[in-house]
């Protein structure tokens, strides 16, 4: 173990620096501290211990704190110990489990100790058996992405790094090390209770795996390392592809081009969805799993043009033709109605700009495309009104006999459902719909013969 520990410190550059060590007093963290003490001089390390009494077990856990303090005094190591009333903290934060509350309090304290001692590293005592349990638990729960790689040997934390030098060792080795070095660690009786998922994996699943292969922890650690490397490579590819299929990305919304998305290989599709979710969720809910990704892939690949999914914490995913919208915004009333002054410039609620001006002479160069509408000023019935659609709206399209429902135009043009309620409609003072800006013109557009004044309206992005 000592030699593997030495190789680990060399590999991660833990030399001539300060290191904080999280020590509970149990065999794992005590062995970790003892190994650091043995190599302290060789690697030029300044050591400090961080210990948290979570106050779950009253006098028993308080005695463990005194044990850690005494051990540190006897080995000339600085010790930062604190008591935190985690049960009270969990009561004040009912959305958190006791274990989550304990972890949040513990890591917050670790961060403060690192800053106090200007330490770029905090070492924790997770070992190979912990790795097996973590990977199996996450697989069972339906985790996705790098979470399936389990516990990393090193990860960024508080401006520095968390390191876990004991992941190559299993519990048996650690207990043997404690025995050989007369360390007399303390044991937390809660680790024996089957109330916790991890304990059930430890007591019921792990022994079977150990029977099949006594060094199974080494295989899981190899899987963790290689899976993480593969996943990081695929994540980079996914980020590149996401830039090509994402139409829009804002703080609480994202919009995906479904046709382009469906051209991606399935592994990249899954990771692109995960990247979008990582971006939208500030704190990703634990209930979010691979099932949500699979259901979205199914929705996007289905031939039906529309559909929706409800994700945790109010995230709604809406498919409409070639567009998929991810939004936390509730679908609310987006209607508006405004008089258009002549001339004027109006910013519309959908973010586009509508300009209106008078020009003299023949306006032929203006009339191409659906982003411009032209009428002789003398034939215009005022006032002009820009508004959102109303039930039963119809328009007499240019070059067509009769009228067509605005609703059917939206459907034919495959306008996403979530955009239809904010799409502008221009009507004149008699109530005739003249123009669906950017989409269709009515037969009332008239460039005339060039004489007189013309009203020219333009619709464009800001």
Annotated binding site for ATP: 24-29
| Spatial separation of the C-alpha atoms in residues 456 and 355, rounded to whole Å | 8
Binding residues: 24-29
Report the C-alpha gap between 230 and 236 in whole angstroms.
10
Judge contact between 9 and 40, C-beta under 8 A.
no
- At 357, give phi and psi (nearest 5°): -145, 165
Contact between 78 and 52 (Cβ < 8 Å): no
Tracing tokens 């919304």 back to the chain, one arrives at 253
For β-strands 433-436 and 246-249, DSSP reports them as unpaired
CA distance 431 to 177: 88
Taking CA atoms, 224 is separated from 150, 211, 229, 281, in Å, by 6, 21, 9, 25
3-state per-residue secondary structure call for 363-406: CHHHCCCCCEEEEEHHHCCCCEEEECCCCCCEECECCCCCCEEH
User: For 103-133, b where at least 16 C-beta lie within 10 A, e where not — what string?
Assistant: ebbbbebbbebbeebebbbbbbbbbbbbbbb
DSSP 129: H
Radius of gyration of the chain from its Cα atoms, rounded to whole angstroms: 33
């Amino acid at each position: 173990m000592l030699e593997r520990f030495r190789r680990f410190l060399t590999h991660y550059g833990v030399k001539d620096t300060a290191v904080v060590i999280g020590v509970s007093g149990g065999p794992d963290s005590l062995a970790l501290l003892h190994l650091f003490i043995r190599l302290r001089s060789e690697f030029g390390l300044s050591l400090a211990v961080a210990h948290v009494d979570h106050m779950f077990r009253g006098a028993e856990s308080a005695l463990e704190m005194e044990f850690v303090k005494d051990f540190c005094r006897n080995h000339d190591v600085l010790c930062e110990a604190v008591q935190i009333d985690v049960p009270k903290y969990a009561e004040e934060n009912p959305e958190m489990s006791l274990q989550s509350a304990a972890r949040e309090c513990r890591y917050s304290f670790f961060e403060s100790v690192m800053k106090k001692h200007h330490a770029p590293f905090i070492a924790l005592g997770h070992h190979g058996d912990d790795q097996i349990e973590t990977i199996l638990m996450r697989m069972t729960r339906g985790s996705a992405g790098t979470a399936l790689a389990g516990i990393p040997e090193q990860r960024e934390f508080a401006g520095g790094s968390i390191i876990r030098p004991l992941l190559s060792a299993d519990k048996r080795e650690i207990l043997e090390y404690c025995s050989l070095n007369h360390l007399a660690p303390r044991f937390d009786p809660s680790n024996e209770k089957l109330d916790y998922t991890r304990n059930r994996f430890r007591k019921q699943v792990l022994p079977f795996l150990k029977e099949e292969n006594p060094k199974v922890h080494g295989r899981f650690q190899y899987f963790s390392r290689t899976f993480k490397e593969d996943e990081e490579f695929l994540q980079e590819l996914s980020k590149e592809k996401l830039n090509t299929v994402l139409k829009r990305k804002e703080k609480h919304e994202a919009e995906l081009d479904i046709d382009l998305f469906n051209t991606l290989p399935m592994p990249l599709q899954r990771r692109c969805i995960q990247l979008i979710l990582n971006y939208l969720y500030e704190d990703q809910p634990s209930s979010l799993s691979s099932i949500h990704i699979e259901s979205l892939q199914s929705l996007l690949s289905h031939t039906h043009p529309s559909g929706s999914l409800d994700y945790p914490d109010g995230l709604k995913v809406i498919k409409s033709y070639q567009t998929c919208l991810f939004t936390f915004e509730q679908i609310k009333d987006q209607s508006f109605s405004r008089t258009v002054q002549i001339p004027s410039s109006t910013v519309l609620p959908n973010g586009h700009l509508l300009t209106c001006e008078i020009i003299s002479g023949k306006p032929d160069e203006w009339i191409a495309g659906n982003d411009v509408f032209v009428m002789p000023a003398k034939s215009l019935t005022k006032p002009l009104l820009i508004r959102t659609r109303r039930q039963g709206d119809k328009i007499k399209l240019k070059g067509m006999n009769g009228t067509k429902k605005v609703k059917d135009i939206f459907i034919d043009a495959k306008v996403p459902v979530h955009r239809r309620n904010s799409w502008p409609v221009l009507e004149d003072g008699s109530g005739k719909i003249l123009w669906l800006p950017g989409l269709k013109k009515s037969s009332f557009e008239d460039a005339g013969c060039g004489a007189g004044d013309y009203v020219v309206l333009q619709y464009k992005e800001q």
